[in-house]
């Protein structure tokens, strides 16, 4: 999951959790508020009822009270309203059947004795819970009777639920709008944070691929801007060091070529001199000097060629050539060496009815150098009685070629570093036979294959062997090979 997606989801989750928490707090607060407000309204209604009861008792006019009770019937949850005298005899009641009757139930007795408004809850005749309010009706310290108001508790709850539901709907619309705006804001904010991070990661990738001219253009005054500045300074320093290294290698290589040429020339003169009969020690010494000088000359040539390729100063001679024929020639070249190491060298070329099936536009000598390097490495790391195979496969618009063996293989953690300059696998360097090399061969092969518009790779397992392969487009470097998943060759081990 990308940082932008993760940051967007995190901010959205925070907004959502905040809204949920706010809703819960608001719901509880609103419920308590509505409950208190409803209780206060009931107390005010009871207080007004007491006032009307007092007026009706003093004026001996129950019609006033009866009319007021009729108005109270429209109150939500109304069950009854009554005025009882001091003996609990019903003077006025919303239920005419209870007029002039003495109410002697526990609720009525408790209400008649109350000196202040009293709230009681009991179960009515129909099983519903009734909230009974009772308050004394006094006049100048003398109790005239008791006013009572009965309300259906479930109806009161429905009123609160209705108000809460209506408010909840409004809150949900506001919440949905807030979530939408918050999600857009989170996405915009995450994108703003992710853009410089993406640029930094892209810059790191380019530096890792060798593009030391990469610079970041981030005009920011925060930590990311500081990091971008440090990245640019690092890239500049790396470029300076790389230029210094390349300059040193080029200069030292050029300076070493002249004495090496002289050494090889004089060694050749001494070896070819017929006037003197060299001793066996001298002959052996001259051979060692000649071989080591040639190896050093090859090393210098590799350095110069790699430097030229990376600077795009080397020119390839792209012509139509037969890759299968080239593979056969390289196999024939190394067959004596393979026999000396007791290694069976095979050639695996797909059957193709079309003679031009293995034709590709490329530089023959450069591709020959790639195959020579891959085959030479395979022979170095394949034990006696092993098998090394050069293969060429037709893949439609592409050709795959390379070398595979059943040797000691390559550790998984070392595979990614194989095509880096001056890199050798220390774990397997001298496991089969003593290996001499500079670690430039695979780096050169990679540069050559990529200059042909192709790609190079390796598949390997410890003790099962390795398969180095490269893929080229038949049309040449102008057409890149297909970018689909590459299926490497099967290991011989």
Domain that holds residue 58: 3-159
Strands 398-405 and 387-395 come out as antiparallel
Quick one: pLDDT at residue 392?
A: 92
CATH (domain of 242): 1.10.287.130
> What mean pLDDT comes out for the span 149-176?
87
Q: Of 179, 117, 124, 121, nearest to 147 (Cα)?
A: 117
3-state secondary structure of 409: coil
On whether both 26 and 147 belong to a single domain, the answer is yes
139, 159, 179 — which closes off a domain? Answer: 159
DSSP 8-state symbol, 488: P
Q: What is the pLDDT of residues 206-227, one digit of tens each?
A: 777 777 777 777 777 777 777 8
Mean pLDDT for the chain overall: 82
Q: Check pLDDT > 80 for residue 249.
A: no
Q: Of 479, 472, 477, 489, nearest to 359 (Cα)?
A: 472
On whether both 341 and 466 belong to a single domain, the answer is yes
On whether both 341 and 409 belong to a single domain, the answer is yes
CA distances from 438 to 378, 382, 446 (A): 16, 19, 15
Quick one: pLDDT at residue 1?
A: 61
269, 290, 310 — which closes off a domain? Answer: 310
Quick one: pLDDT at residue 276?
A: 65
- The span from the first CA to the last CA of the chain, in angstroms, equals 38
Specify if 483 maps to a domain.
Answer: no
* Both structure tokens of 472: 């080229």
CA distance 410 to 390: 19
Quick one: pLDDT at residue 394?
A: 87
CA distance 13 to 17: 6
On whether both 137 and 262 belong to a single domain, the answer is no
Q: How far is CA 238 from the centre of its chain?
A: 29
Cross-sheet strand order for the sheet of 129-139: 90-93, 78-85, 142-152, 129-139, 118-123
Using an 8 Å Cβ cutoff, are 150 and 80 in contact? yes
On whether both 328 and 449 belong to a single domain, the answer is yes
For the full predicted model, state whether its pTM sits above 0.75.
no
Strands 344-349 and 387-395 come out as parallel
């Amino acid at each position: 999951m990308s940082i932008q997606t993760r940051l967007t989801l995190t901010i959205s989750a925070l907004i959502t959790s905040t809204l949920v928490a706010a809703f819960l707090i608001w719901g509880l607060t609103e419920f308590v508020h509505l409950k208190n407000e409803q209780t206060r309204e009931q107390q005010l209604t009871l207080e007004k009822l007491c006032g009307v009861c007092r007026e009706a008792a003093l004026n001996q006019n129950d019609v006033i009270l009866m009319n007021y009770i009729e108005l109270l019937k429209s109150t939500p949850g109304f069950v009854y309203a009554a005025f009882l005298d001091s003996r609990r005899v019903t003077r006025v009641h919303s239920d005419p059947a209870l007029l002039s009757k003495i109410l002697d139930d526990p609720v009525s007795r408790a209400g008649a004795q109350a000196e202040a408004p009293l709230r009681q809850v009991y179960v009515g005749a129909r099983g519903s819970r009734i909230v009974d309010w009772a308050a004394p009706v006094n006049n100048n310290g003398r109790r005239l009777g008791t006013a009572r108001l009965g309300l259906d508790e479930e109806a009161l709850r429905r009123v609160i639920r209705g108000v809460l539901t209506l408010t909840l709907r409004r809150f949900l619309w506001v919440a949905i709008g807030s979530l939408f705006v918050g999600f857009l804001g989170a996405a915009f904010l995450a994108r703003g944070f992710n853009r410089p991070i993406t640029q930094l990661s892209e810059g790191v990738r380019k530096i890792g691929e060798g593009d030391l001219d990469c610079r970041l253009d981030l005009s920011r005054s925060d930590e990311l801007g500081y990091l971008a500045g440090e990245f640019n300074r690092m890239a500049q320093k790396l470029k300076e060091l790389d230029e210094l290294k390349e300059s040193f290698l080029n200069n030292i290589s050029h300076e070493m070529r002249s004495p090496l040429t002289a050494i090889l020339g004089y060694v050749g003169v001494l070896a070819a001199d017929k006037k003197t009969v060299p001793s066996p020690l001298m002959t052996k010494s001259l051979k060692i000097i000649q071989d080591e000088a040639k190896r050093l000359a090859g090393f210098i040539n590799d350095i110069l060629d790699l430097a030229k390729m990376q600077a795009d100063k080397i020119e390839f001679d792209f012509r139509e050539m037969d890759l299968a024929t080239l593979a056969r020639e390289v196999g024939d070249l190394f067959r004596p060496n393979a026999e000396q190491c007791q290694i069976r060298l095979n050639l695996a070329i797909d059957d193709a009815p079309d003679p031009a099936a293995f034709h590709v536009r490329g530089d023959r000598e450069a591709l020959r150098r790639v195959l020579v390097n891959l085959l030479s490495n395979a022979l170095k790391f394949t034990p006696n009685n092993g098998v090394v195979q050069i293969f060429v496969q037709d893949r439609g618009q592409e050709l795959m070629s390379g070398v595979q063996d059943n040797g000691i293989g390559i550790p998984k953690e070392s595979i990614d570093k194989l095509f880096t300059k001056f890199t050798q696998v220390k774990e397997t360097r001298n496991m089969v036979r003593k290996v001499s090399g500079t670690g430039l061969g695979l780096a050169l092969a990679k540069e050559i294959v990529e200059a042909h518009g192709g790609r190079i790779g390796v598949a390997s397992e410890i003790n099962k062997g390795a398969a180095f392969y490269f893929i080229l487009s038949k049309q040449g470097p102008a057409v890149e090979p297909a970018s689909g998943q590459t299926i490497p060759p099967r290991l011989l081990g």
